[in-house]
Structure 1
Amino acid sequence: MRKLLLTITMAMASAFAADAKIPVPQDSKIRLNEGWMFVRTDLGNIWEAVRPVKKDNPEEYPFWHSVTLPHCFNAEDCVDPDVNYYQGPGWYKTQLSIENPYTDGRVMLEFEGAGQKTEVYVYTTKVGEHVGGYDSWNVDITDAVADFLGSEDAKRFGGKVPLSIRCDNTRDNEMIPSDISDFNIYGGIYRYLNLVYLPKVSVASLKIDTSLSGKLTAGRVCAEGTFYNLADVRNADVTVYIKDAKGSVVAESHLKNITPLGTTTLIDTELKNPELWDVDKPQLYTCEVVVNTDGQESTATQKFGFRHFEFVEKGPFKLNGRRLLLRGTHRHEDHAGVAAAMTQDQIEKEMGMMKEMGVNFIRLGHYQQSEIVLDMCDSLGILVWEEIPWCRGGVGGEKYRNQAKRMLTNMVKQHYNHPAVIIWGLGNENDWPNDFPTFEQSEIRSFMSELNDLAHSLDPERKTAIRRCEFCSDIVDVYSPTLWAGWYKGDYHDYVKYSQEAFDKVKHFLHVEWGGDSHPGRFTEGVTPTKNDWSETYLAALIDWHLKEQEEMPWLTGTAYWPFKDFSTPVRPDNPVPYVNQKGVVERDFTKKEAYYIFQSYWTKKPMVHIFGHSEPVRWGEKGTEKEVLVFSNCPKVELFVNGISQGVRNRDSRNYPAAGLRWNVVLNEGDNEITAKAFTADKSIVEDSLKWNYMTRKWGEESKLAFTTQSSDDGTVTISVKVTDADGTQCMDSKRFVRFEIAGDGELIKNMGTAGASSRVQAANGAVSIKVKPNGGHSVVAVKSEGLPTEFINL
């Protein structure tokens, strides 16, 4: 199915989504979010989804339950420490009110993404199917709806149309991505599903090409349109407007009495001094296409931009003629409590947090992502590497290869107009065997070449890239090796050496994926931190070193830290938060780790200051021992105060490691201490940060028991905080033992969120864990367990 590039304002979409009976214009989408029933199992046949239910026995089919879309049927089990996540079929059903305002118009369903294999039924008629969980696709249900509404069976549904959808994420080696990938292969309608009304003739797709010349002072825009015209209408009037970022029309075209079949050049014009799309000022133009046929009018709009980029051979990256260091990260489609089913608000918050951290580049790993993400990258000024999910496992047969080529084609065509996109990724870790009995490098090379040729035929301008498949590095335009200095390989102090060695092997080098895992709230004191700590202390040291080195590598195109946010994975059950890849700089619920602020101190211009250790409420050591205080800031000077006493002013120098010279050795009082940092900007204004530390000098002995406290919150929840202590009740600050929470009674644990504070089994961070409980107005008993220690029972 061809992708419909129909852009609408979200305010309009929300208004019409509230009442599906309201006739909507062609350029609007009705989000089908409400009124769904779901069952996580298979059905015997489609009749089970639509057969009559006795009115006097509404519990006849109690296994169906209400859900809203987007919905992922692995929302919690993907991080449940006690089960393998579900991989199998699930069914959704609802009833649609169809009122197409266009005579002889079309009724479409637009899936923005559903995993992983999807079948669509109108009543008992199968109207469409799709394989692939990450590209968007459409189903025309016009004829099936008409047939059903004209049947005797329609009376039972009172004029509504039964819609049933089967999603299936069953393991399948002949489908990409591989199930040995380091992320969950989710199931469900986990992106928005839209109902779209179309007139007899509409725009099916817009392809917009832009170019710059004359030292980027002259621009050319050419827009081609493909029409959706099943009625074979032979006459239409088309008007095209090109609007600048302020909405002013800067060019237009009028096509009278054209035949709206196939692909047509709608406008081809030049613009003087076009406003350039840039990471700091992402200027977006709009192409608006108005189609008139037999008194019916439809409008399609598409954002685009003018920009020029270059990967200098054996050199840096340039955007619009100047060197730009790509400061990047990665995104998985994953969030606490919903898994892949992130709402638009959640996506926009996440992308905004990235930009606030200073990101100007992102790799969307390891699959095509929501149009919302690409729109946000366009509007925020974040350059994009987007890739298909050919990830690990080798290469399969004809069905496997066809899916990969189809998804590559869809990705390029669907996201072609986004100025943010500069790279089409063809694969990830394709040197990883396991899915098939044989693993032939020659087969992988051959297929990689085929994909590379396909990508360039679809889009001659953008670059192709892969990460970690050394024997294919010569095929693509841009290559990223696996380095991971200080985590999977060697010492982070050797980062530049490793990078230079990799840079020398290829024409265009880009370093994506670096970093390390950290367990929130875990810090080290009095010893040199190591990667085995999984501490925020070690990760801060690693990130700080990388960032200060990257500033002094003039040949470097850029890097992308892996990843922005912790995400779930089936291959890491023994992590401190089970089944979570904890390399993010924020937790799975957007809670910032300390690392977030280190990036800000190097990458942002808005004045900021952050004392390292906000999530370390207790520090420890000998009485009178000096403790290092690190401050991260992008301001030129910082003054530190301990308990109101100045510890002096430090000048920021990014070459002065660690913390760019913003560090102090201070003596903390036993007990409570208040720390304040005042950062002075170039114009003498001040930004501040403060925190409190409890300094503990008492030494602990052997882990002996679990001590707990409870605290009620205004939202009605109760937080249970647990400490691992010795026999005298002293907190064992080096404890990393696992603690489990169980509950009986009326309440429920807030768990399976994939975060340190919302998991029923979690490893201690400096001897402490916590969880929240919803009492639900009743009585409950919470058991706190840890192997080898007495179980504690908490009455709520």
Structure 2
Amino acid sequence: MFNKFVSFLVLFVTALSGIAQPREAIDFNGGWSFTLADDLQYRRAEFSAANWKKITLPHDWSIGFDFGEEHPAGNAGGSLPGGVGWYRKTFSLAEKDKGNQYTLHFGGVYRYAEVWINGKYLGKHINGYLSFEHDLTPHLHYGNEENVIAVRVDNSLQPNSRWYTGSGIYRDVRLEKRSPIHLLRAETFITTPEVSADKSTLRVQTVLNQTMPGKSGKLHLKLQDKNKKLIAEQTLAFSDSQFDQELSLGRVALWSPESPTLYDLSISLLDNSDHVRDELTYQVGFRHFHFDEEKGFSLNGESYKLLGVCLHHDLGALGAVFNKSAAKRQLLIMKDMGVNAIRTAHNPPAEEFLDLCDELGFLVQNEAYDMWAKRKNKFDYHIDFKEHYIDDLVRFVKRDRNHPSVFMWSIGNEIREQFDDTGIAFTKNMSEVVKKLDPTRPVTAALTETNYDKNFIAQAQALDVLGFNYKYFDYDKLPTEFKGVPLIASETTSALQTRGVYDPLQDTVQLWPASSKDKFVTNGNTDFTVSAYDNVAAYWGTSHERAWLEVKKRDFLGGIFVWTGFDYLGEPVPYPYPARSSYYGIVDLAGLPKDVYYMYQSEWTDTEVLHLLPHWNWKEGDLVDVWCYFNNANEVELFLNGRSLGRQSKTDDQLHAAWKVPFEAGELKAVKIKDGKGVQEVVKKTAGKPVDVIVDIAHDRYAVDGTTDLYFLTVSLVDEHGTVVPDNDMELSFIPQENIAVIGTDNGYQADLNSLRSPKRNTYKGLGVGIIKKENISNVGKILIKTDTFEKEVTIK
């Protein structure tokens, strides 16, 4: 059926933002006007949009609304509206710019985007997650006459997703100026046919948009390390529009999540006079990997477990708006937890997200579709699938195949065609398309049917690796049922938690809802919370501990992708409205880790972990379940007001220490014991009334470009001793004083119906987050954080 293993020697690359002249990428995010209305006269060049709202892209109009049960997307879609919106922008070009080609590039528009330039219709783009571009050149004006871009975005057909999508031009837009004769980025593909300890080979394939004048030209290739040290350089002549050349290299450093070494490659198009006509610059990462049906996954010749999470595309309070510093924050929080792999659930991410994964070191399973021709929602992509899926797949692969982070292509998630024979043809067709465009990476899909004779996607025998979602009880039968194919746990867990909520423990994992017969939980909490103890899951899932233990002990499973790294907007299983965001995340929507974060950190990193839960504010006599996540030690000893309550260890089936403790006010302390000695301790104290806030400002680590950077202010409500108060929440007002704009606020509570754009936010379990931006990056900013009884001014340097 399949070879015993699938092995790949690969080089991966990503385009740099800086491109040498004459090619120039022009930031096109500023100066737009927007209206949430619909009239075809808006497309006309002569129409005046003077009264429209002035905005800067990226933009998501849905996130600015209040949550509401009346919105047709439902709570699965985040309880926010869609609709139809129009965007317009005017710009000028100098007479001297005539003769260049201008292409307008959209990173992502949700949904059904139609574009006009100076009243001329350029076309309609269907897929809401893929980038697209239009050649503006034939329709442009130069000199004193302005140009007008008009974009209609239609997200009115609802529901069209199982999660929050956002609405509008939610990713970056750029205008690219280039020479009439230039290299085609989409046709440029860079690989390494050979990677070894002593030598590697770099292969560059690219295409010109037309034949060079005089029917000949030169291509100059230069590879440097990040210190500008020359690794290889070559100039080659060619006489047509196709170019394919290999460079022989000596020893190079290999890329991995632990050491994401990148090199700079420039591809310069020269004319016969050695003038640069065009140049593309890429970041190159060298590595090789291997999937084996028995031993799992290996990277650069070493056994390597994929420790992954699934991530949706929204960024919490920002909605669908892509912001690189916010995405960097998410990724670094995951990195600190020990994550080395990301699954893009369930659509192509922003191009800049993959840039971050290249640079920070994450392996990415890049996913194309959540559905094929069979629907999951009434108005989802199935409507357009048959007509557009091949073209969209081609653009998807060509866009992302030059990223070091992308190591697998997924053509679908829990596709319903796996249950009938239409799945065979679709799978073969898509796999063939992907492999023709990129033979260096495996093709996979995330499946649920674990019987071969019933799984028509697997029967196509066209996938290099099979991913299975959940189905823990079937893991051991998979190697027999699907012989000769490497396997991964492509989606696991679906455990449910609200940060800071601690219900009394049950003896077993509770399933909320209990089965497919129930849409919502019938015995849940009246405040729409779920306990943060790791003991509640959706009926198809299980606890975090069990899911990881099931994968950890099976070498044939190449790795795990936990559902999910972060809470996300929409899909608030197990509750109906007013719940409006998910409970699955290891980290909440505000970016605050839940307790189980430290279970993963204790298992997936060498960081010294000692995390004690819950808080220590209870009623006298309450019997409290106390847990402790830890690593690098034999056991933990617990003390209550100085009295030892005994030592506990982890076991093969339990990844935490646990006690039942009658509450008494004071101090609960855990001490990590290694070789009989205490090596680390952590304390929980009973908190009094809130009298102040402590503000932690996170920016420097998440900075990217100085212009779009955000500041994340974590506000802790504390008593007179500085202890966080978990049971007396207060409203915070984030009031700009100087050089500050408030972008959003959040607290991680899944049923908080206050708009995420509001500058006011209640703390939740003592914590809240404000997201702010400097209006002038060079100047100091000041913001006042105020409650009804006290306030604090914070300086942002």
Per the alignment, residue 487 of structure 1 pairs with: none
Per the alignment, residue 502 of structure 1 pairs with: 478
Matched, 1:210 2:209: no
Q: Which amino acid aligns with 2:668?
A: I
Where relative contact order (Cα < 8 A, 6+ residues apart) is larger, the structure is 2
Cα distance, 1:451 vs. partner?
0.9
Q: Which amino acid aligns with 2:476?
A: Q
Query: Within 2, Cα distance between the matches of 1:527 and 1:666?
Result: 16
Q: What are the superposed Cα offsets for residues 700-730 of structure 1, whole Å, 9 maximum, x if unpaired?
A: xxxxxxxx99999999x9x999xxxxxxxxx
Per the alignment, residue 84 of structure 2 pairs with: 89
CA contact (8 A) 2:287 2:299 kept: yes
CA contact (8 A) 1:431 1:469 kept: no
Matched, 1:326 2:306: yes
CA contact (8 A) 2:608 2:631 kept: yes
Query: Within 2, Cα distance between the matches of 1:292 and 1:111?
Result: 29
Per the alignment, residue 722 of structure 2 pairs with: none
Matched, 1:655 2:642: no
Per the alignment, residue 350 of structure 1 pairs with: 330
Q: What are the superposed Cα offsets for residues 361-408 of structure 1, whole Å, 9 maximum, x if unpaired?
A: 111111111122212222222111111124266179995224211121
Query: Within 1, Cα distance between the matches of 2:221 and 2:505?
Result: 68
Query: Within 2, Cα distance between the matches of 1:296 and 1:571?
Result: 54
Matched, 1:405 2:390: yes
Q: Which amino acid aligns with 2:219?
A: V
CA contact (8 A) 2:636 2:649 kept: no
Cα distance, 1:237 vs. partner?
3.2
Matched, 1:634 2:631: yes
Per the alignment, residue 674 of structure 1 pairs with: 667
Matched, 1:382 2:379: no
TM-score, reference length from structure 1: 0.74
Per the alignment, residue 517 of structure 2 pairs with: none
Q: Secondary structure at the match of 2:316?
A: coil
CA contact (8 A) 2:370 2:413 kept: yes
1:315/1:565 CA distance change after superposition, 3 Å: same
Q: What are the superposed Cα offsets for residues 156-187 of structure 1, whole Å, 9 maximum, x if unpaired?
A: xxx54222212222439xxxxxx564223432
Q: Which amino acid aligns with 1:38?
A: F
Per the alignment, residue 176 of structure 1 pairs with: none
Residue 447 (structure 1) aligned to one of 422, 426, 429:
426
CA contact (8 A) 1:95 1:162 kept: yes
1:333/1:430 CA distance change after superposition, 3 Å: same
Name the stretch that deviates more: 545-554 or 184-193: 545-554
Per the alignment, residue 775 of structure 2 pairs with: none
Matched, 1:236 2:211: no
1:634/1:348 CA distance change after superposition, 3 Å: same
CA contact (8 A) 1:80 1:752 kept: no
Name the stretch that deviates more: 95-104 or 310-319: 95-104
Name the stretch that deviates more: 512-521 or 365-374: 512-521
Cα distance, 1:678 vs. partner?
4.7
Structure number with bigger Rg: 1
Per the alignment, residue 68 of structure 1 pairs with: 56
Q: Secondary structure at the match of 2:548?
A: helix
Q: Which amino acid aligns with 2:288?
A: H
Alignment of 1:23-34 (within 5 A): 25-26=21-22, 28-34=24-30
TM-score, reference length from structure 2: 0.74
Q: What are the superposed Cα offsets for residues 219-272 of structure 1, whole Å, 9 maximum, x if unpaired?
A: 21100122244996744332111223543221111024x44x53212x302223
Query: Within 2, Cα distance between the matches of 1:30 and 1:419?
Result: 25
Residue 538 (structure 1) aligned to one of 523, 534, 538:
534
Give 5+ residue unaligned stretches, structure 1.
14-23, 173-178, 434-439, 485-494, 696-707, 722-732, 734-738, 744-748, 782-796
Q: Secondary structure at the match of 2:335?
A: helix
Q: What are the superposed Cα offsets for residues 393-449 of structure 1, whole Å, 9 maximum, x if unpaired?
A: 61799952242111211121111122322211111121179xxxxxx8222332122
1:409/1:600 CA distance change after superposition, 3 Å: same
Matched, 1:416 2:404: no
Provide the aligned C-alpha RMSD in A: 4.4
Matched, 1:220 2:201: yes
Query: Within 2, Cα distance between the matches of 1:620 and 1:658?
Result: 28
Residue 44 (structure 1) aligned to one of 40, 43, 49:
40
Residue 142 (structure 1) aligned to one of 137, 146, 164:
137
1:576/1:322 CA distance change after superposition, 3 Å: farther
Q: What are the superposed Cα offsets for residues 48-88 of structure 1, whole Å, 9 maximum, x if unpaired?
A: 674247xxxx6xx4xx2122211112224595445334333
Cα distance, 1:640 vs. partner?
4.7
Q: What are the superposed Cα offsets for residues 612-647 of structure 1, whole Å, 9 maximum, x if unpaired?
A: 33xx46345736x5x443221233256556466263
Per the alignment, residue 588 of structure 2 pairs with: 587
CA contact (8 A) 1:525 1:620 kept: no
Residue 130 (structure 1) aligned to one of 112, 125, 144:
125
Using the aligned pairs only, state the percent identity.
21
Alignment of 1:689-728 (within 5 A): 689-693=682-686
Per the alignment, residue 724 of structure 1 pairs with: none
1:285/1:684 CA distance change after superposition, 3 Å: farther
Query: Within 1, Cα distance between the matches of 2:662 and 2:573?
Result: 40
Alignment of 1:150-549 (within 5 A): 159-171=145-157, 179=159, 181-205=161-185, 206-212=188-194, 216-229=197-210, 234-256=215-237, 258-259=238-239, 262-265=241-244, 267-293=245-271, 295-391=275-371, 394=374, 400-431=385-416, 441-468=420-447, 470=449, 471=455, 472-475=457-460, 476-483=463-470, 495=472, 497-506=473-482, 507-515=485-493, 516-525=495-504, 527-528=506-507, 530-532=510-512, 534-539=530-535, 542-549=543-550
Q: May I ask how many residue pairs the two structures share in their alignment?
A: 675
Q: Secondary structure at the match of 1:203?
A: coil
